[in-house]
Structure 1
Amino acid sequence: MLNTVKFSFILIALICFSTVNAQEFNAEVVVDAQQTGKNQLTVFKTLEQQLTEFINRNSWSSYQLENHQKINCSFFIIVKSFNNNQFQASLQVQASRPIYGSDKFSPILNFKDNELSFTYKEFQVFNYSPNSFENNLISVISFYLKTILGLDADSFEELSGNSFFEEANQIVNYSQQRGSGWLISGNANSRAALNRDLLSNNFQEFRQAFYEYHRLGLDQFYSDPDLAKAKIVSALNKVQAVNNRRPNSILVRTFFDAKANEILEIFSGGNPENHEAVKNMLQKVAPIHSRSWRQIKS
C-alpha cells in the first residue's frame, strides 16, 4: 500500500524529480482587533506575521511536498479583548484540498472555536513541542494543523489520518491543565470533543464516508460525473447513518458546515428527478443548512 497519502496528490500524481519542501501548509492568518478599540497597535500585525511564518516555515509531518501539493488553510482570529498581553478571542479555521482533474478546491474543515485565550508578548519566540506545553496559542494552532493533516490524509486514503489525530490528542492531553478551551464537559463543540470523535471507533464509518466522498466522488468527476455523483450520494447516506446513531455529533455538524455550499453546487446540475431523495435526506440530517437544501432542484 502506498504510504499514507499524498497531500494534494501523492496518491494520484506521477513521480517527479523537482525540488521539494518540508513545509506542508500554504496558510493565511488574519488578526482582527477592531472590537478592542486598540486595533492600531502594532502587536496585532506582528502576531499575524509571526503566526503565518510559524505555520508555513515549520515542518509538521515527515512528508516532502512540492509547492502545488501544499494544503491551503486560513486562521481568522477575532480579538475581543486585549490587556497586559492577555488576549481573549475567537478563531475560525478553514482548510481545503484540490479536486483532481480540475482547478477547484474542496473544503475539508470549517470550524469556529469560541474559546481562544492566550498570552502573547510582541516578538516572543514561537516553538512547538509534540510532548510539552509551550503556551495556549501554540497548542491551539498546532492542534488544528494536526487535525487538518489528518482530515486531508483521510480524504485520499481510507482511515489514514490516525497518526495525525493521535498527535492532536497528545496536544489535548498536555494542554487541558494549562490552557483554556480544552475540556469536553459542558462544551459539545470543543477541540477535545472533535478529537475524541475522530479517534473513536463509533465514527469510523464517518471517516470512511469522508474518503468515499472525496476520493471516489469528487476526484472522479473529471472522468465519470454520474458515477462520481453516485459515490457522493453513497457517502452522504453513510453520514446519515452515523447521525442516526449519534445525533448532532460534532463531526457531522462540522462536515456540513464545510460542505453545504459544495453539496448544493453538486446537486444543482444533472437530472433533478434524482435529487429528491438526497434533498429530503439532507433536510433531516443537517436542518441548519435548510436554506441551501431548498435551492436544490428536484
Structure 2
Amino acid sequence: MHRVFFVITFVAFFVSGYAQELNCNLVVNAQKTGNENVQVFRTLERQLTEFVNNTTWTNKDFKPQERINCSMIITIADYDTDVFQASIQVQSSRPVFNSTYSTPVYNFNDRNFTFQYLEFQNLVFNPNQYESNLVSVLTYHIYMILGMDADTFQLNGGDEYFKQAQTILNYSQQENFKGWKLEDGTQSRFVLIDNLMSPTFEQFREVMYNYHRNGLDVMYENPKKGKQEIATAIGTLEKLHNKRPNSFLMRVFFDAKSDEIEEIFSDGPNVNITNVVSSLNRIAPTYASKWRNISY
C-alpha cells in the first residue's frame, strides 16, 4: 500500500500557545463559475490556508511530525456578490506505525455548503457562538478530523472533539443553511455526528480503534495477525449493519477505506476471507466491484 493521501482543512481564530494540529492543503476550485481567475477566489484560498495552518484547535501539544495531514477542496458552483454556492470534499489520513504508509481516516463530500464571504473579511471562530456558515462548516469538519483521528489511537479518544462538533451543529441550526438539521437528508452533517454520538453506534468507534491500533499498526511485526484483526473489525461492522442497515456512518467509513481493504485482502499472508467478502458485500454493496477483486 503506497498511496499518498492528502488532506485539506480550514481554520478559525482560537487558542494560541500550543503547536498547530493540522497540516493543511486547501484548494478553492472556481472553474464551474467560468471566472476562476477572479481575485476573490485566490484571496479566499490564501486566507483559509493561513486560517488552518496557523490556528490551534486543542490544548494538546502536537509535535510537527504529529500534525494531521488533511485536505479540503472547495468547489464553487456559483456566486453572486458575496454569496457562494459550493461543495466541500474533506479528507484526512494518519501514518501507520513503523511504515511509510498513510491510511485514510475521514472522507466526506459535503454538498450543502452555501456561505457569505467578503474579500479580506476577518474569519473568527467562537467555540460557543455562531459567527458564519463558512466558519461553522469548516470548524465542524476540523473537529470531525480531530475526533476520528483520536479514535484510531485510543478507544473513544475523540469524545471531546465530537462534542465540540456537536456544539457547532447545535448553534448553527439557528440559521437557514442546509446540512445542520434532521430534515436536511440522510447524508448530512447532522446525521453524521448524531450517529457517532449515539450509543447505538458505539461498536463503530470500537472498530475504528481495533482496525487501526490492533490491525494496521501491528502489520509491520505480524502481518497475518493484523489482517485477522481487520477481518474481525469488518465482522463487527456487519453486526452493526444488521441493527442499523444502510447508515451514513458506514458509508463514510467505506468511502475512506474501500481501496485499502481491497489491497489488504488481496496481498500478503493468507487468512480465511470468505466471511470477510460476504460481510463486505452485505454492508457495502456499492463497492462490490472492489470486493470481486479480492482473491481467496
TM-score (norm: length of structure 2): 0.92
Q: Does 1:45 align with 2:28?
A: no
CA distance in 1, matches of 2:67, 2:269: 35
CA drift at 1:186: 4.2
Q: Which range moves more in the overlay, 43-52 or 172-181? A: 172-181
Q: Alpha carbons of 1:272 and 1:223: their partners in 2 closer, same or farther (altered >3 Å)? A: closer
- Within a 5 Å distance, the mapping from 1:267-282 to structure 2 comes to 267-270=265-268, 274-282=272-280
State the match for 2:143 in structure 1: 146
Q: Gaps (5+ residues) in structure 1?
A: 1-19
CA drift at 1:279: 1.3
Residue 33 of structure 1, aligned match among 10, 26, 30: 30
CA distance in 2, matches of 1:99, 1:169: 28
Paired residues of 2:224 and 2:269 also in contact (CA < 8 A): no
CA drift at 1:252: 0.7
Partner AA of 1:174 in structure 2: Y
Partner AA of 1:71 in structure 2: I
Secondary structure, aligned partner of 2:152: helix
CA drift at 1:108: 0.6
- Within a 5 Å distance, the mapping from 1:184-199 to structure 2 comes to 184-199=182-197
The count of aligned residue pairs is 279
Q: Does 1:59 align with 2:63?
A: no
Paired residues of 1:21 and 1:66 also in contact (CA < 8 A): no
Q: Deviations over 1:107-141 (max 9, x none)?
A: 11111111000000111111110011111011000
CA distance in 2, matches of 1:44, 1:106: 31
CA distance in 2, matches of 1:64, 1:142: 19
CA drift at 1:181: 2.1
State the match for 1:201 in structure 2: 199
CA drift at 1:291: 1.3
Partner AA of 2:225 in structure 1: L
The 4+ residue runs of structure 1 with deviation greater than 6 A are none
State the match for 2:78 in structure 1: 81
CA distance in 2, matches of 1:161, 1:271: 32
State the match for 2:13 in structure 1: none
TM-score (norm: length of structure 1): 0.91
CA distance in 2, matches of 1:273, 1:168: 39
Secondary structure, aligned partner of 1:268: coil
State the match for 1:261 in structure 2: 259
CA drift at 1:21: 5.2
State the match for 2:245 in structure 1: 247
CA drift at 1:273: 6.6
CA distance in 1, matches of 2:96, 2:66: 12
Q: Does 1:130 align with 2:127?
A: yes
Secondary structure, aligned partner of 1:76: strand
CA distance in 2, matches of 1:103, 1:21: 26
Paired residues of 2:94 and 2:104 also in contact (CA < 8 A): yes
Q: Deviations over 1:34-65 (max 9, x none)?
A: 11111110111111111111111111111111
CA distance in 1, matches of 2:56, 2:179: 25
CA drift at 1:271: 5.2
Paired residues of 2:178 and 2:184 also in contact (CA < 8 A): no
Partner AA of 1:159 in structure 2: N
Q: Does 1:109 align with 2:106?
A: yes
CA distance in 1, matches of 2:280, 2:105: 18
CA distance in 1, matches of 2:268, 2:114: 47
- Within a 5 Å distance, the mapping from 1:164-179 to structure 2 comes to 164-178=161-175, 179=177
Q: Alpha carbons of 1:75 and 1:283: their partners in 2 closer, same or farther (altered >3 Å)? A: same
Secondary structure, aligned partner of 2:182: coil
Paired residues of 1:29 and 1:75 also in contact (CA < 8 A): yes
Secondary structure, aligned partner of 1:185: helix
Aligned-pair Cα RMSD in Å: 1.2
% identity of equivalent residues = 43
Secondary structure, aligned partner of 1:262: helix
Residue 181 of structure 1, aligned match among 179, 182, 204: 179
